[in-house]
Amino acid sequence: MQIQLQNYRMAYDDFGQGQPLLFIHGYPLSRRMWQPQMASLAMDARVLAIDLRGHGDSQATPGPYPMSLLADDCAAFLDTLGIQRPVVICGLSMGGYIAFAFYRQHPSRVAGLVLAATRPGPDTPEGQANRDKSTALARQQGVSAIAEAMLPRLLSPGTYHNRPELVNQVRTIMESVSLDGITGDLLGMKGRPDSTPTLAEIKVPTLVLHGADDQLIPLREAETMHSAIPNAGLQVLPTAGHLLNLEQPELFNQAIQGFLHDQR
Ligand code: MLT
C-alpha cells in the first residue's frame, strides 16, 4: 500500500489489529526484510512496516536523511493513518538509530521499544571516513557494489556460506534501494547524534535483541546498551548475525510475542 506524505509517497504494509507494532528497517534495506515477521506477528498485533524514503517502493528525495527527519517521517506516517495510540517500535540497526530519535521527539507516542542489532553511539572518525568511502563507491559503481561489499558482514558466516537463497533474497532487497536512499542514509548516519544519554531516560518497556554472531555491531555493545536502559530485557539469538530476524525468524518472533504478551 502507499500513502502520500508531505513531499513523497511512502509504501507500507499493515496487517492485523490491536497494539500497533511499527517495524523500521536498517540500511540499505527495505520493509521486505520483515517478511518473516509480518504474517506471524499479525496474530498478536497490528503490524506496520514502512519503506523509508528512497528505499523499496517509497519515493526518494535528495539527501541527507538525518535520523531526526526519518523519525518525523514515521510520526507523519502514523498521523496519516490516524494512529494516535502509542506504538511499539521495532528498529533494526539504522532502524534503531531512528527509534532513539523517535523516542526523543515523540516520547508520548511510544508504548515500547525493541532495539535489534543496534547501538546508541555515534560514528567514530574511522566510521565517518568509511561512510565517505561508501558514498563514493555507490556513486561510482552503483548500488549493487554496496550490496556485494556488505553481504558477507550483514549475515553470520554460517548463513552466508550455507544459505544461498537467503543471501540472494538480501541482495535483491539491497539492490532495490535507490542511490539517493543509500547516500541519504550514509550522510544521515555519519552525522547522527550520540543516543547514549537517551538510554537512561527511556521509561517504556524495552527489549534488546542481538545476534550472537553479529559482525557489524559486536554483542558486547548491545550488552552495555542493555545495562544502561532501566528494566530492559536482553535476548541473544544463536547462529545469527546482523540480520537476526531473517536468520532466526522463529526465535525473533517468539521474543517479540513474549515482549508483547508481557505488556498486556
Ligand atoms: C544497518 O544495518 O542499518 C547499518 O549497518 C547500520 C550502520 O551502518 O551503522
pLDDT in tens, 18-73: 999 999 999 999 999 999 999 899 999 999 999 999 999 999 999 999 999 999 99
% pLDDT > 90, the chain: 99
Residue 85: predicted pLDDT: 97
Q: How far is the CA of 264 from the centre of ligand 1 (A)?
A: 32
- What torsion do the CA atoms of 242, 86, 12, 196 make, to the nearest 10 degrees? -30
- How far is CA 217 from each of CA 76, 123, 213, 244, rounded to the nearest angstrom? 30, 12, 9, 12
98 pocket-lining for ligand 1 (C-beta < 6 Å): no
**Closest residue to atom 9 of ligand 1, CA basis:** 94
Q: Provide mean pLDDT across the span 184-194.
A: 98
114 pocket-lining for ligand 1 (C-beta < 6 Å): no
Report the candidate in 202, 93, 96, 237 with the shortest Cα–Cα distance to residue 153: 93
% pLDDT > 70, the chain: 100
Q: Which is it for the CA torsion 77, 79, 81, 83, positive or negative?
A: positive
What is the value of pTM for the model shown?
A: 0.98
188 pocket-lining for ligand 1 (C-beta < 6 Å): no
Distance of CA 28 to the CA centre of its chain: 10
pLDDT of residue 264 exceeding 80 = no
181 neighbors 174 (Cβ within 8 angstroms): no
Residue 263: predicted pLDDT: 83
Q: Which of 33, 93, 128 should be mutated for ligand 1, with most atoms under 8 A from CB?
A: 93
pLDDT category, 136, cuts 50, 70, 90? very high
In angstroms, the CA 32 to CA 181 distance is 15
Residue 163: predicted pLDDT: 97
- Residue 133: partners with Cβ closer than 8 Å, 6 or more residues away: none
In angstroms, the CA 58 to CA 10 distance is 4
Q: How far is the CA of 36 from the centre of ligand 1 (A)?
A: 20
Nine-digit cell string for 15: 496487517
Distance of CA 41 to the CA centre of its chain: 17
Q: How far is the CA of 58 from the centre of ligand 1 (A)?
A: 19
Q: Which atom of ligand 1 is nearest to the CA of 26?
A: 3
- Residue 20: partners with Cβ closer than 8 Å, 6 or more residues away: 45, 46, 48, 78, 83, 85, 87, 88
216 pocket-lining for ligand 1 (C-beta < 6 Å): yes
77 pocket-lining for ligand 1 (C-beta < 6 Å): no
Average pLDDT score over the chain: 97
Residue 155: predicted pLDDT: 97
pLDDT in tens, 66-108: 999 999 999 999 999 999 999 999 999 999 999 999 999 999 9
In angstroms, the CA 180 to CA 171 distance is 18
